[in-house]
Structure 1
Amino acid sequence: MPTMKYLYRLSFIALLILTATGCHRAPDEVLIRQAIDQVAKATQQVDASAVVEPLTDDFDGNRGTTTRQDIGNLLRAAKFRGETLHAVLGPVDVQPRGERYVASFTVTLTSGGKLFPSQLGVYKVETAWRREGHDWRCYSATWTQQL
């Protein structure tokens, strides 16, 4: 049975082949993985606008406890304080659910500052995505701290 690392590499190679052959539209699963990767990179840059960009206006985080605006405000405060953040993604599993998708992964968050100490660690994350126009946007996410 192939490991998740093997499947992730295989997906990456498939993406490179599709790009090299001139494919004009990447598969939906790839677009969602790219969006998740871009959010992780934006988190490390403490870029609130880029982190919330793929979230819908009605985004529901952890069953009503966190909104799109809450996430943006937290990152803006971190940037103002000069915080550093690091986000390391585990393998991303994307599964279709009708016309929508669910993406599950782990993320390890670390920081060099004081704003986030109780919120750092390894999280199990499940995100739900829907198409809005030509873009895939995250409308719901749940996360639980693992360590």
Structure 2
Amino acid sequence: MKYLYRFLIFALLILAAAGCHHAPDEVLIRQAIDKVAQATEQVDAAAVLQPVSDDFDGNSGAMSRQDIANLLRVAKFRGETLHAVLGPVDVQPRGERYVASFTVTLTSGGKVFPSELGVYKVETAWRREGHDWRCYNATWTQQL
């Protein structure tokens, strides 16, 4: 019986340690990028904006957080379908922040985004806000 108690305590400690394990920051950032791609396909502005900071700056002032929200709301209202296919995501530390680079192919079944469709090279900058990683800056250039 004494061994059974020791085994149960040991098993509980193992489970507690496993429950306390946090994913590395790089993995959390990759997961956030994947979720944004999935939310884009759902044309879900709230989900796309979840990891985007309030002071987000896109392409040196060309697009703010509010601009993204408005664009997605118009697309949703018009019944737009969007598809976002991510290439490999490279995440590199920069001090206490991270930079994630990737390509994304955007396609659409409607008419809201025709000139913006194609393959983009994207670089995003991330910082921790509380317990979450937030994208505060992004630059993108159309490749095709």
Find the counterpart in structure 1 of residue 10 from structure 2. none
Find the counterpart in structure 1 of residue 24 from structure 2. 27
Q: What 5-or-longer segments of structure 2 have no aligned partner?
A: 1-17
Task: State TM-score, norm by structure 2.
Answer: 0.86
Find the counterpart in structure 2 of residue 3 from structure 1. none
For 1:130 and 1:122, the matched residues in 2 are separated by: 26
Tell me the SS of whatever aligns to 1:49. helix
Tell me the SS of whatever aligns to 1:78. helix
For 1:23 and 1:87, the matched residues in 2 are separated by: 33
For 2:37 and 2:20, the matched residues in 1 are separated by: 25
Q: What 5-or-longer segments of structure 1 have no aligned partner?
A: 1-20
Matches within 5 A, 1:25-104: 25-104=22-101
For 1:75 and 1:47, the matched residues in 2 are separated by: 7
For 2:92 and 2:80, the matched residues in 1 are separated by: 34
Q: Name the Cα RMSD after superposition.
A: 0.9
Matches within 5 A, 1:111-126: 111-126=108-123
Q: Which has the larger radius of gyration?
A: 2
Task: State TM-score, norm by structure 1.
Answer: 0.85
Q: Give the 4+ runs in structure 1 shifted more than 2 A.
A: 21-24
For 1:25 and 1:80, the matched residues in 2 are separated by: 38
Aligned partner letter, 1:102: V
